[in-house]
Amino acid sequence: MASDSKEVATDLSPLLKVYEDGRVERFFGSPYVPPSPKDPSTSVSSKDITISADFSARLYLPNVQDSSKKFPILVYFHCGGFCTESAFSILHHRYLNLLVSEANALAVSVEYRLAPECPLPAAYEDCWAALQWISSHVVVNSDTDKEHWLLSHGNFDEVYIGGDSSGANIVHNIAMRAGVESLDGDVKILGGFLSHPFFWDPEIKAENVEETMLYRVWKLVYPAPPGGLDNPMINPLADDAPSLSQLGCSRLFVCTSEKDELRERTGLYVQTLTKSGWKGQVELVEIEGEDHCFHIFHLESEKAKSLVKRLAFFINNN
């Protein structure tokens, strides 16, 4: 939305501008689309729900042939640098429709609060609270309002978390928290996928690192992190970060692309994880010739469809 103020406090074009009066003008992001009772291409049903005063979600249910059928549960966190995009955007809606159809999974796509209006750690707290709300469905005497799709069709023995870019960063942080904090009903995260994870890379090669877009986005979305940019939520490989052996899941699928500027950092993350003493299984995939989160923007391409099938295979083969 355009602002009447002409005084720009922060210019992160082509992403957004923040004006001195606090208003935010976003340039990047795809249009909102409503949920669908039945997607014509995939037969996936979707609906929107409000979980709390702070956040909501879009639920996706694959085509149900058997009313007693239970599906793996995928809790999904969208991309957008913590400051743009939405669980309700056309890009993420079509992506989740296809992924849910391929994986035959029930998905909860979380509409977490965005920076700079709600800087980090707001998104982390929203996504953890969403996961706790989902988990509460196994607690018989819980005061939580129960969602029919989760009660009737959710398999709480197969809970996955997944995300792209900033959403993949959230996946990492949620899994780390799940390693030291219990979920309601003692629900466990079976696995997670991190697609093109958005972490700060202190090895970024630039004469003026503070002028890079990566640095400026992090300073906008998390202006005062404890420990600065070596905060482990931003840089999980920092010297003082908790050991990755703490990750509270048993399987990880990590993917990046050849032209992604964070490719090397993603590879180092996987290397560090495998040496940490973590007892789980991790797979790293690199897509040749593609860039950061290419599959979100070019879902019709063969490489994007292939990646979605690999994600679906990961969810279906525990």
**Any domain includes 281:** yes
SS3 of the chain: CCCCCCCEEEEECCCEEEECCCCEEECCCCCECCCCCCCCCCCCEEEEEECCCCCEEEEEECCCCCCCCCEEEEEEECCCCCCCCCCCEHHHHHHHHHHHHHHCCEEEEEECCCCCCCCCCHHHHHHHHHHHHHHHHHCCCCCCCCCHHHHHHEEEEEEEEEEECHHHHHHHHHHHHHCCCCCHHHCCEEEEEEECCCCCCCCCCCCCHHHCHHHHHHHHHCCCCCCHHHCCCCCCCCCCCCCHHHCCCCEEEEEEECCCCCHHHHHHHHHHHHHCCCCCEEEEEEECCCCCCHHHHCCCCHHHHHHHHHHHHHHHCC
Give a yes or no: residue 78 inside a domain: yes
From 27, 26, 46, select the one nearest 36 (Cα to Cα).
46
**pLDDT over 70 for what percent of the chain?**
96
Q: Is 2 part of a structural domain of the chain? A: no
pLDDT per residue as tens digits for the range 78-134: 999 999 999 999 999 999 999 999 999 999 999 999 999 999 999 999 999 999 999
Please write the tens of the pLDDT for every residue from 65-88: 888 899 999 999 999 999 999 999
| CATH number (domain holding residue 125) | 3.40.50.1820
Give the structural domain span for 84.
8-316
* pTM score above 0.85: yes
Question: Above 70 in pLDDT, residue 197?
Answer: yes
- Indicate which residues carry an active-site annotation: 165, 260
| Domain presence at residue 162 | yes
Q: Does 3 reside within a domain? A: no
Residue 1 has pLDDT above 50, yes or no: no
In a domain, 201, yes or no: yes
Instruction: Identify which has the larger pLDDT, 210 or 12.
Output: 12
Lowest mean pLDDT among 141-150, 193-202, 298-307: 141-150
State how many domains the chain has.
1
